[in-house]
Amino acid sequence: MKGIALRGALLLFLSLLFVPGMNAGTIQLGSIGTAADPGQSYSDGNTITIAPHPRWAAPLPGSSWVSFGLTGDPSNPEFSLVQNGTVVSFFDVFDVSGIPSGGEVTVMADDSATVVLNGVTLMPEAPMSGNTYATCSDFGIGCLAASVIDLPASVLHEGTNTLDFEVAQRNAVSFGLDYAGYVSDLVPTPESSSAMLLGLGLLLMAALGARRKSANGAA
């Protein structure tokens, strides 16, 4: 009986030790250019960090203004003008190893942008009607104030995800994108600590009980 009790307690301890749980992780997102993050690109190749137009807001924490060329500060001797009507897609491809529970991304662009996650449009480009584009778009996504966009858990999925920023040039002169955000990633993990303590306690109780019975029997 002593051996059976000890074996039973040990099996219970091991089964509790490996009860799966969830560990919350965070995937950080931010425009930093292809050289710093191979998951970032634009429709024709690599993105680069750029010096911003003097009127643009400062880049978000953990990010930089990016583009495909020197399209930010017009005082740069190598400044490249993007023609009106141009729309360029910038991509950020990232992997979720567990179960995504949502997130958000904060975006600025000149002149404006459409934000798409895994083929689903989360925020369209600002309307052109009544829009002066004095520096960039007067409303919606622009370059003077950040727009915060939810990344729904229903649109995210385990494995590879793609954020697409379709940046539009509408009224000259500069052109660029800046974004930062996160995705919450729930990763299955063994619940070792609490289960270990509970299982160890049960094992010790069974062992003590068996010893008492053995001592009483010997007496």
Instruction: Report how far residue 181's alpha carbon sits from residue 148's, in angstroms, rounded to the nearest whole number.
Output: 9
Contact at 8 Å (CB) between 124 and 212? Answer: no
> What phi-psi label fits residue 45: left (phi over 0), alpha (psi between -120 and 50 degrees) or beta?
left
Mean pLDDT for the chain overall = 85
Residues 6+ apart with CB under 8 A from 94: 27, 29, 39, 160, 161, 163, 183
- In the predicted structure, residue 10 carries a pLDDT above the cut 80: no
pLDDT of res. 194: 46
Higher pLDDT: 145 or 22? It is 145
**Residue where the block lists tokens 């689903």:** 120
- In the predicted structure, residue 144 carries a pLDDT above the cut 80: yes
Give per-residue pLDDT as tens, 168-194: 999 999 999 999 999 999 866 554 444
- In the predicted structure, residue 140 carries a pLDDT above the cut 90: yes
Higher pLDDT: 108 or 2? It is 108
Higher pLDDT: 23 or 131? It is 131
**Any long-range contacts for 133-140 (C-beta under 8 Å, 24+ apart)?**
133/170, 133/171, 135/53, 135/55, 135/56, 135/110, 136/56, 136/109, 136/110, 136/111, 136/112, 137/109, 137/111, 137/112, 137/170, 140/112
- In the predicted structure, residue 207 carries a pLDDT above the cut 60: no
- In the predicted structure, residue 2 carries a pLDDT above the cut 60: no
121 token code pair: 């449009």
Contact at 8 Å (CB) between 90 and 73? Answer: no
Query: For the chain, what percent of residues have pLDDT higher than 70?
Result: 74
pTM score, whole prediction:
0.77
pLDDT of res. 186: 83
> 200 falls in which pLDDT band (50, 70, 90)?
very low
pLDDT of res. 211: 54
